[in-house]
Structure 1
Amino acid sequence: MVRVAPINLTFNPKTLWFDPGELEIEKDMPVVVRTARGTEFGIAASEVIEVPEEQVRALKSALRPVERIATEEDVERAREMEEKSRDALPIFKEMAREAHEDMHPVSVEFLLDGDKAVFYFEAEERI
């Protein structure tokens, strides 16, 4: 059996599994995780669970680590990035309107480090 931490990230509708290492994680606990995109803030969907090794091997990629239980500074930083994301959306909408009328901005997400932003939009055709 393999220990996994089910974590919910803000802009991902799925609960993702991470390697908790030796951390004891409880449901609803804020955590900092490492993803392919960078450092992200998440909330534990449940306590650490044990799953069969076959399930972990069947995943598309190896389990990424839970870096740490979020500190108060991490929680505050996540709030700041959420606010920065909300503030960026009207600017994104204006830029999209000028660049391509078929681009419909949905949201902006700043990762926890603040050094990367992801811009989400809808369009009938590829833009």
Structure 2
Amino acid sequence: MRIITATYPDFLQKVYIEATDVDLNYDDYIIVETSRGNELLKVLKPPYEVSEDDIVEAEGKMLRISTAEDMERYESNKLKAMTAYDYANGAIKEQALDMHLVNAKYTLDQKKLIFNFTATERIDFRELVKVLANKYRTRIELRQISVRDEAKYLGGIGPCGRAHCCSTFLGDFIPVSIQMAKNQDLSLSPTRISGACGRLMCCLNYEDEYYEDTRNKMPDVGQSIDTPNGRGKVIGINILDLVVQVKYEDDYIREYHQDELEAEEV
């Protein structure tokens, strides 16, 4: 099966599209037929073959390469969706629904108007759908998304001073655990290890494999080990520099590189 890896122009999310016999390049815009209607997508990876073992269920089928008219319609739809967003926000307040509207989006053919929202619990929005359908005379879809997806949609700057990873290059979210922060000896204060979404920062995963592998090769704090200057107790380790702090019976403290300790073991 030949597929294309693509994404939405305003929202970085990898989707897999059934390809046609057309030459494409990275960053080309294409028109795709999906279950929601015809949509404009941007190519991340041109057509490639997928083996039966790695088969991916395509989320749509490419129809053609986009035209200037398609791009104009896309921009026009964005303006109309902004107006729909404001109207829907007003309707939500009138109905006192406990939900936060994130954005609104038309499919390229305007056959569906999609509203993404977050909420702490399940929302009965049937009346809201009726109001919106009566106003815009098209199919309405309200999708409850996670706070991580909300941060990806809205974008912003992380504590590192750079744009959110999820909004710039992370196509899919990676599971992150508190153990990753512990492996890296980071502060476990929620304000220090949480992103704008309020969840653990995705970047905790980036170096976790290195920290875990390296920690397994180094002695544990509190362990007694042999050193070039005799036997002592480990009181600290520096994983990045591969340095071990050792304290002796006379309270003298000395640092050793991991290579020195391995040579001592030999």
TM-score > 0.5 by shorter chain: yes
Sort the Cα spacing of 1:14 and 1:72 in 2 relative to 1 into closer, same or farther, 3 A: same
TM value normalised by structure 1: 0.86
Sort the Cα spacing of 1:47 and 1:88 in 2 relative to 1 into closer, same or farther, 3 A: same
Match of 1:87 among 83, 87, 90: 83
- Measured against aligned partners, the alpha-carbon deviations of 1:69-119 in whole angstroms (never above 9, x if no partner) come to 001111111111111112221111111111124121111111000121011
Where structure 2 has 5 or more consecutive residues not aligned to the other structure, the ranges are 124-266
Q: Percent identity?
A: 28
The structure whose RCO (Cα within 8 Å, separation 6+) is larger is 1
* 1:103–1:121 contact (8 Å) kept in structure 2: yes
CA–CA distance in structure 2, aligned partners of residues 101 and 116 of structure 1: 22
Matching residue of 1:77: 73
Matching residue of 1:28: 27
CA–CA distance in structure 1, aligned partners of residues 60 and 114 of structure 2: 20
> 1:91-106 maps to which residues of 2 (within 5 A)?
91-106=87-102
Which one has the largest radius of gyration?
Answer: 2
CA–CA distance in structure 2, aligned partners of residues 83 and 54 of structure 1: 43
Matching residue of 1:109: 105
Q: Which amino acid aligns with 2:100?
A: H
Matching residue of 1:17: 16
Matching residue of 2:63: 67
* 2:37–2:111 contact (8 Å) kept in structure 1: no
Sort the Cα spacing of 1:63 and 1:110 in 2 relative to 1 into closer, same or farther, 3 A: closer
The 3-state SS of whatever aligns with 1:42 is strand
Q: Does 1:126 align with 2:112?
A: no
CA–CA distance in structure 1, aligned partners of residues 3 and 58 of structure 2: 11
* 2:104–2:116 contact (8 Å) kept in structure 1: yes
The 3-state SS of whatever aligns with 1:76 is helix
Matching residue of 2:2: 3
* 1:5–1:25 contact (8 Å) kept in structure 2: no
TM value normalised by structure 2: 0.43
Where structure 1 has 5 or more consecutive residues not aligned to the other structure, the ranges are none
CA–CA distance in structure 2, aligned partners of residues 31 and 18 of structure 1: 10
Alpha-carbon shift at residue 13 of structure 1 (Å): 4.0
